[in-house]
Amino acid sequence: MTDAAKVGPLAGWKIIDLSRVLGGPYCTQLLGDLGAEVIKIEPPQGDETREWGPPYTDGEAAYFVGVNRNKKSLALDLAKPEGKAVLLRLLEGADALVENFKTGSLEKWGLGYDEVLSKKFPTLIHCRVTGFGGDGPLGGYPGYDAVLQAMCGLISVNGPPDAGGVRLGIPIVDIATGLFAVNAILAAAVERHKSGKGQSVEASLFDTGIALQHPHAANWFMSGKKPVLVGNAHTNIAPYDAFPTKTGGVYLSVGNDGQFLKLCQELGVPEMAKDPRFLTNSERLKNKEVLRDEIVRHLADKDAEPFCLKLLDAGIPAGPILDMKGILTHPHAKHRKMVLEQGNYKGVGTAIKFSRTPASLRRTPPRFGEHSREVLQEAGFSAAEIDSLITGGIVPAERRKAR
């Protein structure tokens, strides 16, 4: 196995990560999983998610631990000229800079991409993760996941009819923005291979929240009708919903008439597939409440997991409704390496698989400033220079309390 195969397809890449909280760190963690060297530069107060708990392990919140593996931590005060000088030195030879500062912050510090960075580092890819983008009527405003779920219509299409819209239980906008940011960086790198030039790319929570609106946006463009709340059901397909069984919930995703016929056969009622009310997806949608009642009745004596396996064997998409323990201890999750363990660290694995250059866990999430000396030494700073930066507070040895 080659060295590249041991550390992933981005081996040799250097990422300077100035981001905090979730969208940016999720992006840089994935780049790190894929082999890039990620230097997480934290302000003197540190990444605030270090305190977003409980739960905590060794003083670090699970929220922080979940999105900051495969990174080195350097504490640096960019508000001081000496701190900016350190950053500029670290950017020499870097492939990408990821940041999620308030729009205009880099410019205010004399580190704007157009004015400074693009000229000093013409091959650098600058990735900005923002709430609303840098321009437009809402440009520059800060954004958090739940706010964008609300504004971008995600809450309006999620939840049961009798309860009203409900926030999705995961920060889907933040996470998806991080994934879009990774795609933007890699696409810019492909273009850089042709042009020899870097560029600035942006991924905003606002744009992401809208981009995730499928099929609701497509339905609205075509029909002009506002989506209705359908709970666990699908707006365009039936049966596509959660159902109870004797031993727990299952989810059935029956996407075509052939699958519906097989479902009826496995339920022991093949004649139901010939019922005029259920012959086609359009008819099943019109009569989905009656259809649901029939399916619930025939699932009442079934065991959730064994029956789902039986349906999968028959070619019917189905799965048991599991909680965190159920999925994170599932034998298939273990086989797919979707749970990573190293010492006291446990984390969710990387969802991308490679035949030659797999993702890997090389570093557990860093403590604040854990690698400050190491990073500066690798950048060519002398021991005396490093000591001066630390004693001068440019490279804080401990977190400062936020004011």
Q: What is the pLDDT of residues 57-112, one digit of tens each?
A: 999 999 999 999 999 999 999 999 999 999 999 999 999 999 999 989 999 999 99
pLDDT over 70 (residue 6): no
Q: What is the residue-wise DSSP string for 39-81?
A: EEEE-TT--GGGGS-SSEETTEEHHHHTT--S-EEEE--TTSH
pLDDT over 90 (residue 163): no
Q: What is the residue-wise DSSP string for 278-296?
A: GSSHHHHHHTHHHHHHHHH
Whole-angstrom distance, CA of residue 121 vs CA of residue 82:
19
Q: Are residues 177 and 315 in the same domain?
A: no
Residue 399 lies in a domain: no
Nearest C-alpha neighbor of 119 from the set 177, 35, 200: 200
387 in active site: no
Domain edge (last residue) among 270, 288, 321:
321
CA distances 363 to 49, 68, 69, 148, 168, Å, are: 19, 9, 6, 32, 31
Domain edge (last residue) among 291, 306, 321:
321
Domain count, the chain: 2
Residue 332 lies in a domain: no
Q: Are residues 368 and 313 in the same domain?
A: no
pLDDT over 60 (residue 5): no
Q: Are residues 105 and 175 in the same domain?
A: yes
Residue 95 lies in a domain: yes
Residue type at position 255: G
Provide the residue range defining the domain that includes 268: 240-321
Q: Are residues 57 and 192 in the same domain?
A: yes
Q: Are residues 151 and 288 in the same domain?
A: no
Reported confidence tier of residue 403, pLDDT bands at 50, 70, 90: low
Q: What is the residue-wise DSSP string for 145-168?
A: HHHHHHHTTTGGGSS-TTT-----
- Give the other-Cβ count within 10 Å of 383's Cβ: 10
Residue 117 lies in a domain: yes
Residue 276 zone, left/alpha/beta (φ > 0; ψ -120 to 50; rest)? alpha
Active-site hit among 17, 145, 174, 207: 174
pTM score, two decimals? 0.93
Nearest C-alpha neighbor of 315 from the set 385, 364, 259: 259
Find the DSSP H helices in 164-215.
172-195, 205-211
Residue 244 lies in a domain: yes
Q: Are residues 381 and 275 in the same domain?
A: no
Residue 335 lies in a domain: no
Q: Are residues 194 and 52 in the same domain?
A: yes
Q: Are residues 37 and 139 in the same domain?
A: yes
Q: Are residues 174 and 249 in the same domain?
A: no
Predicted confidence (pLDDT) per residue in 128-150, tens digit: 999 999 999 999 999 999 999 99
Q: How many residues does the chain have?
A: 403
- Residue 299, SS3? helix
39, β-bridge pairs:
16, 72
Give mean pLDDT, residues 229-248: 95
**What's the CA angle centered on 145, arms 143 and 151, to 5 degrees?**
75
Q: Are residues 56 and 205 in the same domain?
A: yes
Residue 373 lies in a domain: yes
Residue 224 zone, left/alpha/beta (φ > 0; ψ -120 to 50; rest)? left
Strands 248-253 and 318-320: antiparallel
Residue 15 lies in a domain: yes
Q: What is the DSSP letter of 340?
A: E
